[in-house]
Structure 1
Amino acid sequence: MALKSIILLCCFIVAAHATDTPRSVVKVTKCEHQQIDIRCGNKEINILYARYGSPIGGDCGSPHVYGKPTRGCESAKSLQVVRKECQGKKDCWVKAKNSVFGDPCVGVFKSLTIHYACVDYEIVGACEGKQIDIRCGAGKTINVLYAIYGANFGSLCTNSFDPWKPICSARRSFDVVRNQCQGKRNCWVKAKNNVFDRNCRGSSALQVEYRCVRGTIVFACENKQVDIRCPSGTTINILSAFYGRNNQQGCRNPVQQTRFGLTLRNECSATNALSVAKSNCNGKHNCWIKAHDSIFNIPCQRGPSKHLEVEYECRKH
């Protein structure tokens, strides 16, 4: 009896942890025959989780077949269908219908649940053996924010994700992609075990988050500093600046695996990052800025490591 209680307690703790999502994640559920509409304005849709099947937690009533309770069921292609309709778009809609997802349990009234975020970066993915291709327009270069190669993390190319199994990933994922792509106009990376020195059970995948930027990016982890230098005849012009925690992977920011994929914990940003960078550097030939809380208006002094990222260009006099 005691062992059973311990097992139940462990399951409860894992389930509670698995539903921990950041405030930026939007969760919406509609009953069968209804429709979910997603709008992100000027940002793009990033689908984190999708489930079409028997209702959970009282959504749309209790699941039943001919008046008798039934166990949970869900369409195996839920995530695949929703990402095909919505991923990377500014707005989309998806109907909660068997004709869209198939019928995972005949006779059961079902619901569709989607968890998504509106993001200002690009996401590309490739299944094992394929490759990602990243291309930026004229005058812009690639800034790699995050990369993961492995299995069981809810990638863009596969629907295989088990919240009860640990994620398998290559430690060098970010370094490999950054070495091949950072600062270039275009690049490609193969999703292969020999590229990332990692072999996981099951189908592996590569997923990369990036931005196309028009300036040069400098980066420093907390308590370090960025040094900016422009050649003779030019001066510094700051384009953007960030200090805090976001989805940038360079300083091992805390990413956790949840039922909805990979999400960042303890996200925060300084409100005066751009003004600090401009006042220290604009119009000069060279400058430096320390990544330290005493310099920035930061709402999260405690917690995991933060970083400073500055985008700039060198302008002719």
Structure 2
Amino acid sequence: MFQSTMLVQKLSGITLLLLLCQHACFLSASGNAKRSVTCEGDSASLSCGSRFINVLRANYGRTDGRTCSAGKPPGQFSNVHCSSETSLQTMATQCNGKKSCSVQAVNSVFNDPCFGTYKYLEVSYECLKPKQHITCEGFRADITCGKGVISVYYANYGRRNLATCPHKFATSTHCNSDQTARMRSRCNGKKSCHVQASNSEFSDPCVGIYKYLEVTYSCIRVLFPSTMLVQKLSGVTLLLLLCQHACFLSACDDAKQSVTCEGDSASLSCGSGFIIVLCANYGRTDGETCSAGKPPGQLSNVHCSSETSLQTMATRCNGRESCSVPAVNSVFNDPCFGTYKYLDVAYECLQSKQHITCEGFRGDITCEEGVISVHYANYGRRNLATCPHELATTAHCYSNRTDRMRSRCNGKKSCHVLASNSEFSDPCVGVYKYLEVTYCCV
């Protein structure tokens, strides 16, 4: 049942993970989710008073024929399958961690996902009450928790206003460099962390501008036994624990861990279930793992994290029953030259459904009971056996379409989509592809 405040009752850890962590637009248990709809050409204004914005979902495009249609010819609102894939990232970068923000609903900001269609920007967001830490460029950020451990919501290195860290080179308010993933890998789950606010640490997003590092975070109280038990937590707390890409094991005890030394291959397997990667890091965060026979100089850097780790593992493994990924620099890039690394992955096995649609055909995803919640979607080819064809010539054609399929299908009883290059673009020219979607009915 979807009321103004969503009631999450009697749900297992896995179900809560699906509901809260897949970037689908659900209202939080606290009832604080807000909605903003802005017609093309106007500006969306988000505001949280004394709290901080956290964008849950966003789409610049058109998904119905009624919104922002007054005075427009029918041809400009007939396309109701229009979604800009940059919507969520753009709104998060512009607004997360701020008390208010204003973003223009125009093609120059989001790109034009459907030429000739009159679009609108739809945003759902929450107002959270975490802490904020500001560090001016050239100084060290010292983020600490007296009680509990750090959980980072959002981080930006750049400049989003002129008043913070005033300086003669504070000449722009549009210097955005989302460093959330990096700060989470450095700080989440720790009592304290120390990071230099500098170009050498984060690279320079706007040369000649005096910048600052802003981090919004909370101190959460958690238990760290060999298997983490999450008990008596509200929806908001579970959101913090499960959705911020920190590496926590689930409440259902089904989370698995894989540690693979550099040069070997990580093998993830779920039998009859489907893989969902919770956390991944290719690098080094301690001096003991994969250290046998290695000189101390190759083990001393314990702050080594490849920012592509989670995305790479999710793209290669999510929605599959098993996968094998080499723990090598050519796959993840080299986050710390000269350090002997390892790949650490936590993942769950979900008993969800899978729908395969061969290129050129229409996929019809339906739920007899409940509504659709997409876990993962890929348009390409990840094996040679599915949709056999003379042009099925590679098993490494990745095109993550999870956000697009969520915007099309989540919360609906059924949705229909054509598995074609015109719908998803062509990730590997000349290869016969298929659309695979793993989902459940909630």
**TM-score band w.r.t. shorter chain:** 0.3 to 0.5
Instruction: Give TM-score scaled by structure 2 length.
Output: 0.30
Higher strand share: 1
Instruction: Give TM-score scaled by structure 1 length.
Output: 0.40
